[in-house]
Amino acid sequence: MIATNQKSFYSINSLLPFTIMDRYLLSELLPPFLFGVGAFSSIGVTIDAVFDLIRKIVESGLPVGIAIQVFLLKMPYFIVLAFPMSTLLATLMTYSRLSSESELIALRGCGVSVYRMVLPAVMLSLIVTGMTFVFNEQVTPTANYQANRILDSALKSDKPILKQQNIFYPEYRDIQEKDGTKSKMLARLFYADQFDGKRMKGLTIIDRATEGLNQVVVAESAQWNGSQSVWDFYNGTIYLVAPNGSYRNILRFEQQQLKLPRTPLSLVEKSRDYGEMNISESLEQLTVEKLGGDRQKIRKLQVRIQQKIALPFVCLVFGLVGAAMGTVPQRTGRGTSFGVCVIVIFTYYLMFFISGAIGQAGIISPFLGAWLPNFIFLVIGLFLLMRVARR
């Protein structure tokens, strides 16, 4: 009679939104999660940043204060990477321990289903997913950008700080062949040695946008004239080329205005490394890249955007996989759980990089290239969970 009442008590409690069991499981999940965040982020920042900063202090005379500032700015990036791994570590270690000590068996004997037991892990994973998204959008890109700017400024304090070098911008136009097929042809090629924040320097422009008229512009510098929407070129030469390849005319100038697109300047102003942009900035960059028509760059950026969206959901997938693997009846120690965690993480990120590369190559869509590892591990987690629930 007591056993029946106790079973009914747990069955009723299992329907409540937040029970003693939930608080207990969450209290067991939090310590290994926090340990994982500290351990994985410390290992990552030490291998990737600390050794490099120490080398710059010794070899390049980087001030220690600047090095500490760069170190702190790089920490959010590694914390974001640690969130998914810590979620997997916490769920796997916690549920493996509960399984080895027969606590999960006791809960099932009281009428609590496997799905209900892993619900706290899913709840924690959802919270971490939100945290990862916020860090990845609001904190990490800005911190990475500031860290790189501070580091470049400190190491090049005796040189002019250039926003970008080797600016290369191709522009294409669609042409229709005689057989009716369409293809892309280079319409304009814009190259500059560097951009100092105001002017492009060392320019070479090949302009084939007007049919029957090709021109090559070589100039010492150029500046965008916003009031007239033209480029002001300084100290250069314009070579007009006939369709047969011979020179029509050569024009030397000290200052010349040419009506060319502003896109190269927009590309420079918006250009950042992928790790320095959030999703909104990446979409703006994608718009600029599409004007250039470089399909490889476009696909690479499309895959990166999808990966930025997919990364936070790895926490949810890892939480489910870790809880499902941990609920399998077994007797394993923390060392074994940690080893399994490392193998799962390595396998996932190997698939992540491979599928991303395949997506950039155009074999699969950018969406599938970014999300495929998530889908595969989600299926694995659900399969393991249903298999344990049927026992």
Residues 28 and 152 in one domain: yes
Asked whether residue 338 is assigned to any structural domain, the reply reads yes
Strand order of the sheet with strand 200-210?
Answer: 164-176, 182-195, 200-210, 213-225, 230-241, 247-258
| Residue 303 CB coordination number (10 Å) | 26
Beta bridge partners of 252: 237
Range of the domain at 251: 164-261
Q: Give the CA dihedral 305, 308, 311, 312, nearest 10 degrees.
A: -130
Asked whether residue 2 is assigned to any structural domain, the reply reads no
Residues 306 and 368 in one domain: yes
Across 358-376, average pLDDT: 91
Residues 82 and 185 in one domain: no
Asked whether residue 185 is assigned to any structural domain, the reply reads yes
Identify residue 196 by its one-letter amino acid code: D
Q: What is the pLDDT of residue 18?
A: 67
Under the banding of pLDDT at 50, 70 and 90, the label for residue 168 is confident
Pairwise pLDDT comparison (160 vs 189), residue with the higher score? 189
Residues 105 and 43 in one domain: yes
Under the banding of pLDDT at 50, 70 and 90, the label for residue 332 is low
Residues 152 and 51 in one domain: yes
Distance CA 111, CA 345 (A): 33
Under the banding of pLDDT at 50, 70 and 90, the label for residue 291 is low
**pLDDT averaged over the chain?**
81
Across 71-91, average pLDDT: 90
Under the banding of pLDDT at 50, 70 and 90, the label for residue 372 is very high
Residues 124 and 83 in one domain: yes
Residues 332 and 364 in one domain: yes
Residues 25 and 122 in one domain: yes
Structural domains counted in the chain: 2
Pairwise pLDDT comparison (295 vs 309), residue with the higher score? 309
Render pLDDT for 90-106 as a digit per residue (tens, 0 to 9).
998 888 888 777 777 77
Residues 42 and 142 in one domain: yes
Distance CA 219, CA 208 (A): 17
Residues 42 and 130 in one domain: yes
Instruction: Look at 68-72, 80-84, 205-209, 356-360 and tell me which has the smallest mean pLDDT.
Output: 205-209
Residues 253 and 345 in one domain: no
Residues 26 and 141 in one domain: yes
Residue 244, pLDDT above cutoff 70:
no
